[in-house]
Amino acid sequence: MNPSKILIVEDEEAMRFFLSEALSKEGHEICAVENSEEALGRFSEEDFDLVLLDYNLPTRNGLELFKALKHIHPDLVAILITGHGSQVIALDAMNQGLFDYFCKPVELDELRVVVRRGLERAHLLKEVQSLRNGLKDRFSLDRMLGNSRGMQEVHARIEMISGSDVSVLISGESGTGKELAAQAIHYTSPRNRGPLIKVNCAAVPQDLLEAEFFGYEKGAFTGAVKQKIGKFELASGGTLFLDEIGDMPKSTQMKILRVLQEKELERVGGETTIPIDIRLVAATNKNLEKAVAEGEFREDLFYRINVVSLTLPPLRERSGDIPVLANHFLEVYNKPFGKEISGLADDALEILQNYSWPGNVRELENVIQRAMVLSFNQVLDQKDLLRVYPALAEPVTGPPNGVSFEDQVQAVVWSTEKRLILEALEIENWKRQETADRLGVSRKTLHNKMKKYGLGQSARGQPTPWGSSGQ
Ligand SMILES: Nc1ncnc2c1ncn2[C@@H]1O[C@H](COP(=O)(O)OP(=O)(O)OP(=O)(O)O)[C@@H](O)[C@H]1O
Ligand SMILES: [Mg+2]
């Protein structure tokens, strides 16, 4: 371990010498100064693990100096040395955030113990800080990969709101990265020192939502055997992420709205009003505007949440992002899977970029994971992908931008039809008659449709589909 660095501020020369000697013998690196000005100078230039300061200093007392130092480094760990009989001063200092104190005359053993404990605290604080930085790094904007225009707009918007506290509504199809965006919003905001608390409104049974949000007091209802703190309260000082907000029942919507407006709540069965300080980020894969128009979602709540809206584009509209995402997932999973796959062949990238990705980035992640597990190649090629995900075989007859509405609908119908046929073929092991029976069409119809979608050729010599390949 590196030696710890200690700053000693003491105007009496003999005492300064005594402290320096004693602590450098313990293996610490010592910097000893005689007044506040010098201390402030050194402290703003160098990193110290601990500061030992005398109370009776010439220009300002030790407590005033402590406050000035804390201004430079809020996490500072400091120990005060006071004259004999100044316990009152020392206690006051402890209330101001000082770590500890001792009185003159200084006992060597006591000095060692207090300094050691102070250093332990300093190292702990450092560790917490580095974990916090790690979290910030893990969830920062940089983790949202993609250079497409759509993703760049998402980045720009998150950066634009990073200094503020506005509510954000994130929308996007499933698997487009809504949760990742919520994390980026929290960790780039001034609230990043506070918690990010998530509630998935679709996963909590409706009659438990209120208890989940607001908590309850012991005995509030049958089964409430002890007090529970709700997610709103837990998120205080940080961000509350309400996932799948479109699935929240209307009765709960009203209660949430009230809490957001009043910035306070009562736990279920509780009397006390608790102030709440949260930033709200919500996500949905539903069209909330439509839900409002249809009377399923409260309009007033919608406007309160949707101060800023962030829409994540579907992957099929940014196929240019696919290579960087696919390579990213290779990097992420190489180690846990014990692989050393270095990249994707051109033919593999080509089919990835031509597919429609109804499950978006999550689906892509899944395909890459499956292919990695079953491949022994250094570079994944088309065959590796098709073996585990035959659906990739057929490019979508997707509409280029600017085509008519009818054509777009047609394209969706086609791609759905193709998908259903493909699924049935996979289930029936590509046996035509069985597949036709399963779909409830004639063998001839199936034949025509397979031809139309180019499924005929790929059936022969098609690698065994994932899931029916035995081991
Ligand atoms: N731009 C991106 N860069 C890197 N990874 C991404 C990106 N977008 C999504 N992912 C990854 O894809 C997976 C799905 O993302 P996420 O859970 O954020 O999506 P979602 O929109 O919340 O999905 P759902 O609607 O199903 O809840 C995660 O593993 C996430 O890390
Ligand atoms: Mg999600």
Instruction: Give backbone dihedrals phi and psi of 240, rounded to 5 degrees, phi first.
Output: -105, 125
Nearest to 322 by CA among 469, 150, 115: 150
Other residues' Cβ atoms within 10 Å of the Cβ of residue 184: 23
Q: Is the CB of 202 under 6 A from ligand 1?
A: no
Q: Which has the minimum average pLDDT: 5-9, 94-98, 126-130?
A: 126-130
User: Token pair 């049935």 is at which residue?
Assistant: 424
Question: Ligand 2 centre from 179 Cα, in Å?
Answer: 5
Cα–Cα distance for residue pair 461/292, rounded to 1 Å? 51
Q: Give, rounded to a whole angstrom, the gap between the first and last alpha carbons of the chain.
A: 50
Are 455 and 394 contacting, i.e. CB atoms less than 8 angstroms apart? yes
Q: Which ligand is nearest to the CA of 312?
A: 1
The minimum-distance atom of ligand 1 relative to the CA of 285 is: 25
The reply to whether 5-135 and 147-311 are identical in fold is yes
Q: Where are the beta strands (DSSP E) in 249-334?
A: 264-265, 274-275, 279-284, 308-311
Residue 470 confidence class, pLDDT cut points 50, 70, 90:
very low
Q: Is the CB of 362 under 6 A from ligand 1?
A: yes
Per-residue model confidence (pLDDT) at position 172: 95
Q: Which amino acid makes up residue 471?
A: Q
pLDDT in tens, 284-294: 999 999 999 99
CATH of domain 404-471: 1.10.10
Asked whether the predicted pLDDT for residue 391 surpasses 80, the reply is yes
Nearest to 323 by CA among 360, 364, 288: 364
| CATH classification number, 5-135, choose in 3.40.50.2300, 3.40.190.80, 1.10.10.60, 3.40.1190.20 | 3.40.50.2300
Nearest to 94 by CA among 114, 112, 111, 109: 114
Are 360 and 174 contacting, i.e. CB atoms less than 8 angstroms apart? yes
Per-residue model confidence (pLDDT) at position 166: 93
Residue 456 confidence class, pLDDT cut points 50, 70, 90:
low
In the predicted model, what is the mean pLDDT of residues 380-401? 77
In the predicted model, what is the mean pLDDT of residues 335-355? 93
Are 135 and 187 contacting, i.e. CB atoms less than 8 angstroms apart? yes
- Considering only CA atoms, give the Rg of the chain: 32
Question: Ligand 1 centre from 461 Cα, in Å?
Answer: 34
pLDDT in tens, 100-154: 988 888 888 989 999 999 999 998 888 887 777 766 666 678 889 999 999 999 9
Cα–Cα distance for residue pair 91/162, rounded to 1 Å? 40
pLDDT in tens, 247-269: 998 889 999 999 999 999 999 99
Cα–Cα distance for residue pair 170/242, rounded to 1 Å? 10
Going by alpha carbons, the residue nearest to atom 16 of ligand 1 is 177
- 3-class SS at 270? coil
User: Token pair 């399923």 is at which residue?
Assistant: 296
Per-residue model confidence (pLDDT) at position 465: 35
Residue 406 confidence class, pLDDT cut points 50, 70, 90:
low
Per-residue model confidence (pLDDT) at position 457: 46
The minimum-distance atom of ligand 1 relative to the CA of 175 is: 23
| CATH classification number, 147-311, choose in 3.40.30.10, 3.40.50.40, 3.40.50.300, 3.40.50.720 | 3.40.50.300
Per-residue model confidence (pLDDT) at position 405: 66
Cα–Cα distance for residue pair 283/168, rounded to 1 Å? 8
Asked whether the predicted pLDDT for residue 462 surpasses 80, the reply is no
Domain residues of the chain, as ranges?
5-135, 147-311, 314-393, 404-471
Contact residues for 89 (Cβ-Cβ < 8 A; gap 6+) = 55, 63, 82
Asked whether the predicted pLDDT for residue 232 surpasses 70, the reply is yes
Per-residue model confidence (pLDDT) at position 351: 93
Tell me the average pLDDT of the chain. 87
Per-residue model confidence (pLDDT) at position 126: 84
Cα–Cα distance for residue pair 6/31, rounded to 1 Å? 6
**DSSP state, residue 204:** S
**CATH fold for domain 314-393:** Helicase, Ruva Protein; domain 3 (1.10.8)
